[in-house]
């Protein structure tokens, strides 16, 4: 599997575009299969419960990676700052049960910009 990334660590050139085509086909495949199944399948079936759990776990793993072990620019921000900003944004989000996504997103983003300005 590691033969594709020979020169540098990052995927580049044709490999990158092949990955994009694969990702696009995979994504469209899921949408299309949904249309095909929408005539006949029960949304509460076991396979959907499992798939939903796998999806959430994967996005969670991705999110925590992006926040705790980021690459590039975000890595220049100390971990405790990233954690603090995330906690504050979540605090805004759960302070009221509905329609807090925009204020919470703004809080977090602006705090991050603010940190960038003052550091």
Query: In the range 11-70, which residues lie near another protein by CB under 8 A?
Result: 11, 15-20, 22-35, 37-39, 41, 43, 48-70
79 touches another protein by CB under 8 A: no
Give the burial string for 75-114 (b: 16+ CB within 10 Å, else e): eeeeeeebeebbeebeebbeeeeeebeeebeebbeebbee
Phi, psi of 95 (to 5 degrees): -65, -25
Find tokens 């994009």 and name the residue.
20
CB of 61 to another protein, least distance (A): 3
> Between vectors from CA 48 to CA 47 and to CA 54, what angle results, nearest 5°?
90
CB of 90 to another protein, least distance (A): 6
Nearer of residues 26 and 80 to another protein, judged by Cβ? 26
Among 79, 80, 83, 93, binds another protein (CB under 8 A): 93
CB of 87 to another protein, least distance (A): 10
């Amino acid at each position: 599997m590691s033969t594709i990334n020979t020169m540098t660590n990052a995927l580049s050139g044709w490999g990158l575009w092949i990955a994009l085509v694969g990702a696009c086909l995979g994504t469209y495949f899921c949408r299309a299969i949904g249309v095909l199944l929408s005539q006949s399948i029960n949304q509460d079936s076991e396979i959907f419960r499992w798939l939903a759990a796998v999806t959430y776990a994967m996005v969670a793993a991705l999110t925590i990676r992006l926040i705790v072990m980021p690459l590039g620019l975000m890595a220049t921000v100390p971990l405790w700052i990233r954690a603090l900003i995330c906690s504050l944004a979540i605090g805004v989000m759960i302070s009221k049960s509905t329609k807090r996504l925009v204020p919470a997103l703004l809080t977090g983003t602006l705090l991050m910009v603010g940190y960038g300005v003052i550091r």
